[in-house]
Amino acid sequence: MHRSNWIIFNFQTGLFMNNPRQNWIIYSIVTVVILVMSTEIIAFINAPNKTTPVLKKEEWTAPSLFTDRTIQGEERALVIYGEELIANTAKYLGPNGSVAQITNGMNCQNCHLNAGRKKWGNNYGAVSANYPKFRDRSGSMESVFKRVSDCMERSLNGSALDSNAREMKAMIAYIKWVGHAVPKDSTPKGSGIKPPEYLERAASPEKGLVVYAAKCQSCHGANGEGQMAADAKSYIYPPLWGDHSYNTGAGLFRLSRFAGYVRDNMPFNQASHESPALSDEESWDVAAFVNSRPRPAKDLSKDWPNISKKPVDHPFGPYADGFTEQQHKFGPFKPIVAARTGK
């Protein structure tokens, strides 16, 4: 019997055969395999993201200390303490704080929800990837330390901690850890605050009062005073205006920041970015109402050394454009944007 050097797979019997007349089978198989492989290779070259996953901006979710075991030892202890300080700031640094009495009694978490890990909740996702960075408000390069100090002096209407204080180191370590997986210089979708669309008209404090009474007052109080916990150390519902609220230099005192934060997050636990409880109009109006109530003033004379860099909704003059303080505070903002951009 003639013996071939080839060993061939016989499809009928499922056995390896050495029949040369069945060589065409191996040729067909090889051809098919080559065809499939080359189409796969071409697909790979055309769309490398399909098979080499990169961190997509919209896919950012905050890390969890339960699952992240990469940080250990002292670093881990610092991050855990930092989270505790962000969530329960008043307990440590408030008017009755156990470490120092240097803030107004609010918690960082009141404005940076879930200790700064909530999507669209003014989270810290972009911080590690973008600091140090140049900020026009101070006209200088700012470190995370400077940025945290800013919120302590403005949003918490208090004084900053020394850069060597364990509490400061812990908050910085925690904030950096929250965004540690975000690629340098990128901003994940859902970080910070996204303002609602500008209205055609000025935001109305009068209309905002109606929104406030219907949708905010039950928790934040008739006088925006909030509600203290039984231990009188921290708030269950933080204040929105008055002596214990953020001062006029705080981010939330800008209408777009307040409106964006509230539209995506308030009433607490009843609203989200995907299904807000307030319309854009209600968000702007309630922002105008709350930010026209009395609150602590901050000396801002050193801010915005280049006045042409002031944001459209910066509520204090002088300005490089001809618009009034009133319009910069309440809008309409579209004409200001148009004058700046020519659009």
The pattern of x and - marking residues 113 through 132 that bind ligand HEC according to CB under 6 A reads x--------x-x-xx-----
**Number of residues near ligand HEC (by CB under 6 A):** 45
Contact 179, 52 (CB under 8 A): no
Q: Is the peptide bond before 188 cis (omega within 30 degrees of 0)?
A: no
The one segment of 11-19, 264-272, 310-318, 324-332 that binds ligand HEC by CB under 6 A: 264-272
Residue the block writes with tokens 């995370």:
144
With CB under 6 A as the contact rule, the residue among 63, 105, 205, 239 that binds ligand HEC is: 239
Q: How far apart are CA 329 and CA 177, in angstroms?
A: 35
288 binds ligand HEC (CB under 6 A): no
The pattern of x and - marking residues 48 through 67 that bind ligand HEC according to CB under 6 A reads --------------------
**Residue 136: HSE in the Cβ half-sphere, 13 Å Cα cutoff:** 7
Q: How far apart are CA 185 and CA 169, in angstroms?
A: 23
Nearer to ligand HEC, 131 or 319 (CB): 131
79 binds ligand HEC (CB under 6 A): no
Minimum CB separation of residue 197 from ligand HEC in Å reads 17
**Residue 182 DSSP symbol:** S
Nearer to ligand HEC, 8 or 333 (CB): 333
267 binds ligand HEC (CB under 6 A): yes
Contact 208, 288 (CB under 8 A): yes
Q: Bridge partners of 8?
A: 17
Minimum CB separation of residue 53 from ligand HEC in Å reads 25
Pairing state between β 235-237 and 227-228: antiparallel
With CB under 6 A as the contact rule, the residue among 62, 90, 102, 111 that binds ligand HEC is: 111
173 binds ligand HEC (CB under 6 A): no
Site residues for ligand HEC, 129-168, by CB under 6 A, read: 147-148, 151-152, 155-156
Minimum CB separation of residue 64 from ligand HEC in Å reads 18
Q: How far apart are CA 343 and CA 330, in angstroms?
A: 20
Nearer to ligand HEC, 268 or 323 (CB): 268
Q: Which amino acid is at 312?
A: V
The pattern of x and - marking residues 212 through 231 that bind ligand HEC according to CB under 6 A reads ---xx-xxx-----------
Cβ within 8 Å of residue 339, ≥6 positions away = 321, 322, 323
Residue the block writes with tokens 């364990």:
166
With CB under 6 A as the contact rule, the residue among 60, 246, 284, 304 that binds ligand HEC is: 246
Taking the CA atoms of 80, 273, 278 and 333 in sequence, report the sign of the dihedral they define: positive
- What secondary structure, in 3-state letters, does 87-120 show? HCHHHHHCCCCCCCCCCCCCCHHHHCHHHHCCCC
Which residues of the shown chain bind ligand HEC in the complex (CB under 6 A)? 86, 89, 106-113, 122, 124, 126-127, 147-148, 151-152, 155-156, 171, 175, 192-193, 215-216, 218-220, 237-240, 246, 250-252, 257, 261-262, 266-268, 278, 286
